Structure 1
Amino acid sequence: MSNPRVFLDIEIRAGAKVLHSGRTILELRADVVPKTAENFRVLCTREAGQGYKGSTFHRVIPKFMIQGGDFTAHNGTGGRSIYGNKFEDENFILKHTGPGVLSMANAGKNTNGSQFFICLEPTPWLDGAHVVFGNVVEDQMESLIVDELKIFLNVGMDTVYQIAEYGTSSGSLKKVGSESVQQQLHML
């Protein structure tokens, strides 16, 4: 049985202006961490009535990671899993080996909820503290039909790197002119 794949349709905006849009496809490692992968998959599809649609990447640190998944407070203090508020660390078999690694953000041991991050570089110091459960799938081109026009979206790490360009070392987002940059997740 193959591992499930999900996608995040992402817009990077400054006010009403769309700076970039793209689809990031993620493979979830249900073969190694089935409970963690299922939590993310269900939050992407909203099968449980709650999920990532409309949430943002609230913490963006260039050359480190982008973090999102707080669909309750929208600022990094909230979120919840499909199993209740938090669930335990499943295992630490998979490692933070490089760009595109998908991992659970947490507040310590056994505090996984809905927040996640995508690595921009190898981050081995996170091994054993954050559960890796997937990775960005690269080299795929997607198209959408919008108002009878075929639009091609950038796919894979391109969108992740575009988000990282608007981050700061503190994790807050830069401004473009007088407008704060925001990333909106759209799961279709």
Structure 2
Amino acid sequence: MAALRIFARPCVSPIFSNLLPSNITKTTLFNNFKIQQRCSSFKSSPKVGDPSNYTEFEISKDPKEWFFVERILALKTVPPAPTSTDTELPSGWKPQSADAKKLPYFVARTKNHMQPVYIARTHRGMRRITELHKIQGDIWTLEADLKKYLEEQSGKRVATQIHEVVGQVNVKGDHVIRIKEWLDKKGL
């Protein structure tokens, strides 16, 4: 790579000008020099060139044509979640059920209507802690029910930690999928 940079420099061009035809040498060395030129700021960047070198475009104000652009743009707000779905969605997403209000605890969804279950990796990925956020109500009962479910599923003892003020339960290990299944079963 370094050799290519050396040969592309304009000071070396007289050496190779005798070896190649004159039209190839001039254009190649000039283009290589332009590639190496660095633009460190806006002021030193090249000015706008001839308009014929750029892509042609047309500004349209026709609403029929603008419809195709609007459907590609990102939405400004998150659309409301469906309240009930009889069929299973391809993504596996399920809304919260009305039975969840009977429980002594509640897990609120995120602003994108997703379950607030996350994995935190520390110590270069060696320690994995699953975090369940946005818990309201009796956090101690939720932790007991969740711990019982996880121990039944894994067949091992599970270590948990409760942050009552924040409304968060931490579970040692990677249990994201199991906790989301448990939340779906409970209707949370």
Question: TM-score range, shorter-chain basis?
Answer: under 0.3
User: TM-score if structure 1 supplies the norm length?
Assistant: 0.22
More strand by share: 1
More helix by share: 2
User: TM-score if structure 2 supplies the norm length?
Assistant: 0.22
